[in-house]
Every structure is written in structure tokens, then in C-alpha cells.
Amino acid sequence: MTDENVYYVEFKDGECFMKIVRFVILTILLFQPLTAKEGINFSVAPKFELGFGHTTYTMDNIYGTDSTGAIVGELKSELKFPLDATYAGFEVEIYREKADSKLWFVDVAYSKNINNPRGVMTDGDWLTPTGGFDFLWSYTESDVEYKYDMFSAHAGYRIYKWTKSNTFVVVGYKYQRVVQDVINIRGWQYDFDQDPLVKVNIDTTIHALYYKVVYHQPSIGLLYDLHFTPRQQLQLSVGYMHVFASDNDDHILRNKLSEASGTGPGFYSSLELNYHFQPPHHAMRPFIGFDADFSYLKVSTGQTQTWYGDDPITDGEDDTGHIERNIPHRFTSLQFFIGLRAGVAF
């Protein structure tokens, strides 16, 4: 917890952003000699993005029982973590051109959040009595301290050319790491034994939950590249991702650690608009660009829950050391980013 918070404060103070700037400058100096070779080009562009969307973590198909062990209904818990923050990063691309048309390209990108999400984390619990309807018996909202890292790499090869357009097959890899530290819980909960409704309000200084999810996403897709003019360019891409994911939920208030890993499908699409201020073959071509990226992924797996201390909301024996396995668990992520880039091509 302490290391995560210290890292976040340093990044807010701008230290990490300066590291990005220094990396971009060093990259330009290292790769610029490649541009002396005919047909080999290089571009670099810092970028800023606004993010939207969420990661939803669901446990369902869990059966509730009474004191005799008889099943009285089905339980469902759903946590929704916001991704609507601001991000900064860079893109670097190396490509080969012939007759003003790309033959192949390789690009890498990195981005990181520079603030906390604008939205809140929501946590809802439902009970569906046998033969009955869904009943929401607990709901809370919480603020989030947030850390996000993304790295991606893609390689494309042209498979078709027609007048001012080109089509590429693209293989790629994306890594995402999302850490969310949940504080300041407020909401309500139905009390089945006493008052029908109990307000929940936990002090902001208490860290209630720590959630981390990591995605590895190899992909394959198509990219369509259209040059309206020698200076104006549009790119559209779509593709499939096979997602390898793992998440870790430290429910601090209950002394419980939940862990899961699995694989699942995903897909992505993106749109890019670029404008170069100089015509082709110019030694340096400054450009600006707008991009929009959308992705969706879904992983269904089993979760293991381990109590590393006594659970304060349960009665009876000490829960320390208790383990429950193969709890039905599903997490999905819906992500949308819009960004602005300003760079230079050599």
C-alpha cells in the first residue's frame, strides 16, 4: 500500500512525465541515423488522451443457504471500477516507404494516467430468492486512487494497394496494468434482522479495498490506410485479441484476498486522422493527429478466496486461514480513449 501511494504522488508531481520527455528525445537521437537510408522513416509523437469506460468484476451463481444448509436463493456481487481519467504517453514508429506508400511498419506506444478517475467505484450485491426476483440488498460508491500503465507493440505488412489506399495485416501485443485503491465508502445496506435500511459511511482515511488487474493481449487484425492528399491521412483498424488476465482483490475491511486468472476473447478498433505540415520526402515532417480507440474483453474463470485474518462481519470461529476455491468469477473491461498527438517524422 505504501509503495503504491508514494509512486502515485511522485507521478502527480511530474517526475514520470519528464522521464517520458527524456525518453522521446533520446529515441530521436538514436534512430535518426536510420532515416539516412533510403525508404526507412521514423516518427515520434507525445500524446495526451481522455479515457472512458470501466472494468466490471462479477461473482454470481453462488447459492445462499440457511442455518440448516437448505438453499434459499442465489447471490451475485458486482464491482465496477472506473477508467475515466487523463493519460499521457508517446508513440514511436519505424516504417519503410516506396513511391510514397508504406510497405511495412513497426510501432510501440506507452501511456500512463496523470490523475484519478472522474467517476466512482460502485459495489452492488443482489439476492435472488428461489422462485423470486432479483433483490438489491447492498449498494455503495467509493472514491479511487488510481495507477495505470499500458505498453503496446505492433508490426504491419502491406497485403494490398489500390490508388491512394493500402491494406495491412497487423500482429500485435498490448500489456495493461490497472491498480485501484478504494477509499471513502458511502451507501446503504438492507439489514434483514433489524432496521430495513442501514447507511454505510466509512472514513476517507481507511483503505477499504485494493484491486489490481493485469492483461496480456496478443492480437491480429487489419489496418486500412487512406491518403486523401499527400499531407492528410486516415487509418482504420479492427482486430481480435486473445486475453490472458489475472486479478487480485484485497478486501482489507474483511481480511480477505481474492485471486483469479484466466483467458478470454476481446476485440479492438481504432481511428486515426493525421495531418503533416510538410509534403513527402521533406527532411522533417511535423504532424498533428487525432485518434480514437475502443476495446472490449471478457474473461470467465474461477476465483480463490483466502482469509488472512478474522472476518469482522461473520460470527463464530476465527476465519483466519479459511480458503474457498472455484467461485464463479467474471471480469469484463470496456475501454474507450480519444487522444491528440503532435510529433515529427524523419
The three cell numbers locating residue 5? 501511494
* Tens digits of residue pLDDT in 64-123: 666 666 666 788 889 999 999 999 999 999 999 877 678 999 999 999 999 999 999 999
pTM more than 0.85: no
Ordered structural domains, the chain, with CATH: 2-345 (2.40.128.90)
* Tens digits of residue pLDDT in 215-268: 999 999 999 999 999 899 999 999 999 999 999 999 998 899 999 999 999 999
Counting residues of the chain whose pLDDT is more than 90, the rounded percentage is 58
Mean pLDDT: which of 24-33, 180-189, 204-213 is highest? 180-189
Better-scored residue on pLDDT, 37 or 140:
140
Q: What average pLDDT does the segment 309-337 reach?
A: 90
Average pLDDT over the chain, rounded to an integer: 85
For the chain, the three-class secondary structure string (H helix, E strand, C coil) is CHHHHHHHHHHHCCHHHHHHHHHHHHHHHHHHHHHHCCCEEEEEEEEEEEEEEEEEEEEEEEEEECCCCCEEEEEEEEEEEECCCEEEEEEEEEEEEECCEEEEEEEEEEEEECCCCCCCEEEEEEEEECCCCCEEEEEEEEEEEEEEEEEEEEEEEEEEEECCEEEEEEEEEEEEEEEEEEEEEEEEECCCCCCCCEEEECCCCCEEEEEEEEEEEEEEEEEEEEECCCCEEEEEEEEEEEEEEEEEEEEHHHCEEEEEEEEEEEEEEEEEEEEECCCCCCCCEEEEEEEEEEEEEEEEEEEEEEECCCCCCCCCCCCCCCEEEEEEEEEEEEEEEEEEEEEEEC
Give residue 32's pLDDT. Answer: 53
Nearest Cα residue to 141 out of 196, 87, 199: 199
CA–CA gap between residue 102 and residue 97 (Å, rounded): 4
Report whether pLDDT(203) > 90.
Answer: no
Report whether pLDDT(4) > 90.
Answer: no
CA–CA gap between residue 277 and residue 274 (Å, rounded): 10
- pLDDT band, residue 282 (cuts 50/70/90): confident
